[in-house]
Chain A
């Protein structure tokens, strides 16, 4: 009881949200779907007998990139539901009446949404190990995946939370989050030629998602050291910190519209 009384508000919210995500079934279901995607990719890669040594490193890079991207999607799905979901369920008013500062409510919800990323990372490890052990990149892949994935998860989680704070409904929040996510991922599909030149390079480095994905490729495929292309992590780190700050500031101003929770 004493521990419960002294626990900060965000910690209480986090505990409640973690139970909701993981015991409520959403977390296990999303993690299961994530494992199906990784299994399909890993199976296609591993049964390709024409794969050469370099292409196998590329395959490890692909698994890490898919893990990081899908992990980000899981987090954004959970975060986009954080406030707008409460609105839709008609529980936002009760939540706001709880004796917990609104920023702490948002922090607890963001932390709970972020819990999907470590789970996704743990699920991805066996696939990384399987594909990467023969080409000696398991350690690098784990470190790079954890580093880039954590930055992107925080950034996307905060983005989902910001959209959830302002969206009128959960559907709008989810749709907007996924739209922004796709827009950020779109440049990764540009041809190598389009990414060259100062404009292409700037876009690659300024977009946190393309920068993170390229960092993974530089380390795992090109064999660069972890520090050599560390400048590519500036955009993901800045975006993660800035969006988390925006989410917490915006959460402090969260109000119920006149006439009720909706």
Chain B
């Protein structure tokens, strides 16, 4: 009897709690695939839908990037400088749209996903939208082999010039 009463009270109060809204929040994205080139910018738009009966408050949306292939180090901060957004309260049945700007800083295949979690998220799983698969075409931006002639050539030329001047000075000094 007491247990039944407690459940009834919890059900009645649930919509007022941000945590309760979690179960009724969903995330959608405007695309599931992006093909781009190294260094190019692109955007993903996500929509957080509150399908619950109460206002969803204290929601935090977070963008993440992961490489789908091993051996590629990904620093998500390099991909997007603003990866965490604190959402305004979403009324019952309402939506909140967030535009995420990204720059493809690595070549390869990557997954971009957006998770939404309540501010009091301890112990609760986040709500995650569909994965956006990002394929970044390789583009050669740095010729590592070419640095050696430059790194040696410039000091050699300047060193020879400085040495030549010193030699000339020495000769002039000795002839005087």
Residues on A lying within 8 angstroms of B by beta carbon are: 23-25, 28-29, 31-32, 35-36, 38-40, 42-43, 46-47, 49-56, 123, 126-127, 130-131, 134-136
* A136 to B148 alpha-carbon distance, docked (Å): 21
Partner of B141 from the list A40, A42, A56 (CB cut-off 8 Å) is A56
Name, among A32, A35, A52, A126, the residue most crowded by chain B CB atoms within 10 Å (CB to CB). Answer: A52
**Segment at the A interface, from B2-10, B91-99, B126-134, B153-161:** B153-161
Interface pair A126/B103, CB less than 8 Å apart: no
Q: Closest approach, in angstroms, between the C-beta of A162 and any C-beta of chain B?
A: 29
Interface pair B159/A130, CB less than 8 Å apart: no
Given that A23-B169, A134-B141, A134-B142 are contacting pairs, would A126 and B154 also be in contact in the complex, using a CB cutoff of 8 Å? yes
Smallest CB-CB A-B distances: 9 pairs: A134-B141, A28-B162, A46-B147, A39-B151, A53-B105, A52-B105, A54-B78, A32-B158, A54-B105
Interface pair A39/B162, CB less than 8 Å apart: no
Given that A35-B155, A39-B154, A56-B141 are contacting pairs, would A47 and B165 also be in contact in the complex, using a CB cutoff of 8 Å? no
- Does any Cβ of A come within 8 Å of B150's Cβ? yes
Given that A55-B78, A130-B147 are contacting pairs, would A29 and B162 also be in contact in the complex, using a CB cutoff of 8 Å? yes
Partner of A52 from the list B78, B151, B166 (CB cut-off 8 Å) is B78
Interface pair A39/B155, CB less than 8 Å apart: yes
Partner of B154 from the list A25, A35, A49, A135 (CB cut-off 8 Å) is A35
Chain B residues lying within 8 Å of A36, measured Cβ to Cβ, are: 155
* A135 to B104 alpha-carbon distance, docked (Å): 12
Chain B residues lying within 8 Å of A35, measured Cβ to Cβ, are: 154-155, 158
Interface residue count on the B side (C-beta < 8 Å): 30
Partner of A42 from the list B106, B147, B165 (CB cut-off 8 Å) is B147
Given that A35-B158, A36-B155 are contacting pairs, would A43 and B105 also be in contact in the complex, using a CB cutoff of 8 Å? no
Interface pair A32/B155, CB less than 8 Å apart: yes
Q: Closest approach, in angstroms, between the C-beta of A22 and any C-beta of chain B?
A: 8
Chain A residues lying within 8 Å of B105, measured Cβ to Cβ, are: 52-55
Cβ contacts A to B, 5 pairs, < 8 Å: A29-B162, A32-B162, A39-B155, A52-B106, A53-B104
* A134 to B105 alpha-carbon distance, docked (Å): 13
Interface pair B152/A28, CB less than 8 Å apart: no
- Does any Cβ of A come within 8 Å of B176's Cβ? no
Known pairs A25-B165, A39-B151 / 18 extra A-B pairs, C-beta < 8 Å? A24-B169, A28-B158, A28-B161, A32-B158, A32-B159, A35-B158, A39-B155, A42-B147, A46-B144, A49-B144, A52-B78, A53-B78, A53-B106, A123-B154, A123-B158, A126-B154, A134-B139, A136-B39
Q: Closest approach, in angstroms, between the C-beta of B96 and any C-beta of chain A?
A: 27
Chain B residues lying within 8 Å of A53, measured Cβ to Cβ, are: 38-39, 78, 103-106, 141
Chain A residues lying within 8 Å of B169, measured Cβ to Cβ, are: 23-25
- Does any Cβ of A come within 8 Å of B140's Cβ? yes
- Does any Cβ of A come within 8 Å of B123's Cβ? no
Interface pair B158/A43, CB less than 8 Å apart: no
Chain A residues lying within 8 Å of B165, measured Cβ to Cβ, are: 23, 25, 28
